Structure 1
């Protein structure tokens, strides 16, 4: 019986190093590949784009149109009959004493609160990063806990602490023979009290960011500086601070945005008083919405938005050049 010759599969090469014998199929044209990629990308992005347009971009544009009108709560039944006043709402703002008072209070809150919060956050981060403090994890949790706690609950607790007769703050001052003031009902002390509270509450956020920035600095740089005879203060000034510029920029921008929009503290603790000494721009905007002055309140909101943008640009101009260098 004749031996049947072995039939070798032509699709499998006899030499593994020779590569596959199967010829690849023709690739689709470049235009088709681009179209497929474009459709795939938009397929993934479309749900977010729709939500963004409906719930963010749409309301923003609608509020811009509202700020150019005299829309009030009574006009909601006939929104197309509202009078268009142009820039009159914006002009009116700069002659509104209550709004100017709110703008001044917000400026004080930002100018004092942001540097205070950043300085305390950096100081605590340096202490926790030094390795000289035991139970550092416990301290990190303790400092960060107010950040994730409800601001309403924190404000209520602070109101009890700052009570003029039975509050813990005045009890401590009374132990040293000091007669404590009525912190929240005194025109002189109300705003500084809210600033201290805001700095305490936001200290944990800045601490975590600064701590991450400090741990990213190579230890070799400090060792080289020590060998060259640099003292601790010199290392902090000429090594730590320059290396922390990007971190400082981020903390400054985020903290400034939060402080410009401060609302919960005066709303819960002082209701903007006494005598509007703690009235903020955000709280004044909220009040106008409550009064039904939607057009005027929208103009206030856009002024607040412009202030946030300008302050953010100022921080970038102040710190970004050093970052790029």
Structure 2
């Protein structure tokens, strides 16, 4: 492990991961056409060589399991060096993500992922979204069966409410919750983060750079980039939000850091139980992200950053309305029968 990317414990079930992780979605999906495979493999190898161990994927990232196949190729001869966090429970279609988490689907999804990844086990298996047709207890019990068979090592959930976390945790200890957390998205701080800490559950923070909003050189939004339909990135809201970016940029210049490094350092500072997973397809961006590990923020600097991006001045919701309905703000799961 690189000395500036220490190993931390995620949850209480023995899972250890690098303090800075890696989100792999953009290598297959959501931000436009994926890069050449050679480019992605080079970035993934550099990440491993730099001490990153946790790599976050999903069976619906890209067509026909593209992302899992990519990771299978990247880690075929170094499986012991990485922690694979894989989401399931969503089917990508022309109508968006269709959610499913019944026991048969859970098992079929896991076995398909194992095959694409070329591995005998998944370190952290994460329910991507709750299926409002299936009680969370039923889904978790199906995951526990996979754990008992050695096909997964740890259980995780993503975009779930505090109440659902408690219900799931009663069935089997949950190792980590994946959630969106960044300077401009802090809704999880009211109930979800405290619940995780009360129960000893680790936190995986996705989109810690606000889907590239806090990047030093934000990429253009082109064809196939889902930010084109995301309210915070429409032209009117984006213009208003840029003032928040300028606020952070001024602090970064004074700190001798880049805007993205400072925004990422803020997420890293949120606790020893937090692993942010910024994604990139470029070596230069990976190097920049790693540099955030060397930035130490004082309590005064943390408050200054939070004051620079107040929640009431962030324009636009974080997902398109139809997608937001599947997140923790609107998440529903039926009661367990009997």
Larger radius of gyration: 1
TM over 0.5: no
TM-score by length of structure 2 reads: 0.23
More strand, by proportion: 2
More helix, by proportion: 1
TM-score by length of structure 1 reads: 0.23
